[in-house]
Amino acid sequence: MDKKEIKALYLKFVQGECSVPENRLLIEYLKTHGNEDDLPSYEEVLEVISGRKKMNDEVSRNILRYIENSDSVETPRKTINISRYKWMWGAAALLIASFAVYLLYFSPGRMQIVRSESDQKQVCVLPDGTRILLNSNSEISYRGDFGSNHKREVWITGEAKFNVAHDKTRPFIVHGQNGFKVEVLGTTFSLKSLDGQTRVVLHEGSIKVGLDHDTLKTIILKPGEMASLRPDKKIDRTEVDTLVYSAWEYDLIPFKKSNLQDVTKILSESYGIDIIADSSVEHFDFTGALPTKDLDKALKTIQMTLDCQVVRLEEQKFMLRK
């Protein structure tokens, strides 16, 4: 790499925007070839990092601990320019932080965690090219040495849609709650593992479903089938409409013959308001998909489908009635 590329990569690193391969490339270069003439100036680094958010307290403490425990190095005394001295100390601190970050986040075996916020979805691309779309309030984790032991493994809490990169030499394994396990070579499926409910819906390809503690009892799913884990740890297989189970990907909540009281409860939680069903309609069932980001449209859909009225009782309270 030339000086211009090193400088650009270093500034990208201090902003936290480097990929895993770029981090490793920069750190290896600084270990073997780096000198201060290759790096951006002290003022350039300050300008870049001044607008960044304060790092996580735990990460900060770990880096400080790493610096404090590092072996000190004695250097001969000599007169140097003050501004140059200041920059060299700044560069040294950043280099030590670089190695600390490498040890904290990219060392083999360390778990990498990706989380989605409560009000948004999150896309994650794994080192093998597998694309995962996390629904809100979901989390996946995988080891830092992902795929190095002839298999690719991830752990999930929540809901996600997987588009797995094909690799016949390394099976892709997803671990859910209660020992639920899905094994694939390359395919597309949706998996939910949250609050005691675990199920997987296959969109394309083929997957093998089983339990961690019972490798003999497995089932093979075909596209359009769902495997769900029962409380007694047995797995049921049913045919389903896959669009219903991927509706969240398009900011929709799917319902199939759902009691209206359950529908209003889910909508209330999604929008952070209070929606109730009057006794005249509480026994109604609803089938369809309701938007998660347009309350008026959601309520009008229910109103037209069930031929009922929507009454606004308060600013954040609605009632459905005949």
The full set of domain ranges for the chain reads 3-105, 111-245, 251-321
Q: Give CA–CA dist 112/104, Å, rounded.
A: 10
Q: Residue 10: is its pLDDT beyond 60?
A: yes
Give the integer Cα–Cα distance in Å for 249 and 162: 11
Question: Is this model's pTM higher than 0.85 or not?
Answer: no
Q: Say if domain 251-321 classifies as CATH 3.90.1150.200.
A: no
Instruction: Give the pLDDT confidence score for residue 273 in this predicted structure.
Output: 92
Rounded to whole angstroms, the Cα distance separating 38 from 32 reads: 13
> Residue 280 above 90 pLDDT?
yes
Q: What is the arithmetic mean of pLDDT over 277-282?
A: 93
CATH topology identical between 111-245 and 251-321? no
As a whole number of angstroms, the distance between CA 253 and CA 270 comes to: 9
CATH class of the domain whose range is 111-245: mainly beta
pLDDT over threshold 50, residue 67: no
